[in-house]
Structure 1
């Protein structure tokens, strides 16, 4: 029975990867997307925990290939296979925190909100640190670091809004679609 449950999760995994990758290719506000929420959702819901990592990483990689080689091809020489390690590390931490703090059987909206806020903040801190370290736009000083974080604030607000909205939709949908325990009807005697 356990393997049937796991095999039934494969279509959901593929659908989430497709949805997350497509969301990055469609017009949207910068950093407003479902990838972070899907990382948390996968961590809480998939029986095989490697699937929780597969959703954000596969979606990011596939959409990065399309974005970097179609939309932004003029910025790269030849076919670009690369990825941003800071972004992938941020989503990896998101999955790890989801694995440690979210459980499908112990769901709570308060816990989900707290984990979502925490992972969004960590993602922001980590990726903007990467921008500061790897970009000639910001001097390698405390002032440069503060400038990098300040420039990233609009992206933080969009990330937070997207993570909260998509986490609510994914977890709320799962709660709504979850099988309910059957209750016996009590017959009243007149």
Structure 2
């Protein structure tokens, strides 16, 4: 009979993700709902999950679950006017972008450093900008359904993506910094293949 071993690394990573996701909710509930539009932790959470979870399933599932739970709460409270009772129009574009962001964390942040983090933050903002704006532009009567209409949609999104970059950098610095400090104090939290011997 096999026994499942408790993995403190997974628990710490999950707690950091949940704490930052909770902070996303606290900030949104305690400010003008549009003042911090796109100043979000989701880019940082995606990178963090991709960088630190060895298992692909966990790397994708834990950040996606945190996004879903916070989206569900927001869609049924302060963003209720913009939701369909479960989520919001075009949510699948956001989740596709989020999955691609996890992939960036997985590929670029195998060994996190300041340079690789900055490069990955720019990459996730670009992914968020292009992929989520497909959902805003496609079949939207406010935009012509051609390259010029999509370009106009992208241009209008630039201020929001600036906030998304700032949110990704700040939340990411908190998440990566916190885990690296904890890991320095407790070396057993390193990924197994990086442990000596």
Which TM-score tier does this pair reach, normalised by the shorter chain? 0.7 to 0.9
TM-score relative to the length of structure 1:
0.79
Equivalent residues, number = 177
Superposed displacement of residue 66, structure 1: 2.0
Q: 1:46 to 1:6 in 2, by over 3 A?
A: farther
From 35, 50, 63, the counterpart of 2:57: 50
In structure 1, how many angstroms separate the alpha carbons of the residues matched to 2:41 and 2:70? 13
Note the C-alpha offset of 1:159.
Answer: 0.5
Which structure would you say has the larger Rg? 1
Unaligned runs of 5+ in 2: 188-197
Which consecutive residues of structure 1, in runs of 5 or more, have no partner in the other structure?
A: 183-190
Task: Note the aligned Cα RMSD (angstroms).
Answer: 2.7
* Structure 1 Cα separation of the partners of residues 78 and 135 of structure 2: 23
1:51 and 1:88 map into 2 onto residues whose CA distance is: 16
Partner of 1:60: 67
| Shift in alpha-carbon separation, 1:5–1:98, aligned structure 2, 3 A | farther
Structure 2: distance between partners of 1:22 and 1:180: 25
The C-alpha deviation readout for 1:115-134, integer Å capped at 9, x for no partner, is 11111111111111221114
- In the other structure, the counterpart of 1:80 is 86
The answer (yes or no) to whether the contact 1:138–1:148 under 8 Å persists in 2 is yes
Give the alignment's TM-score, normalised by structure 2.
0.77
Q: Secondary structure at the match of 1:29?
A: coil
Contact 1:21 1:60 in 2 (8 A): no
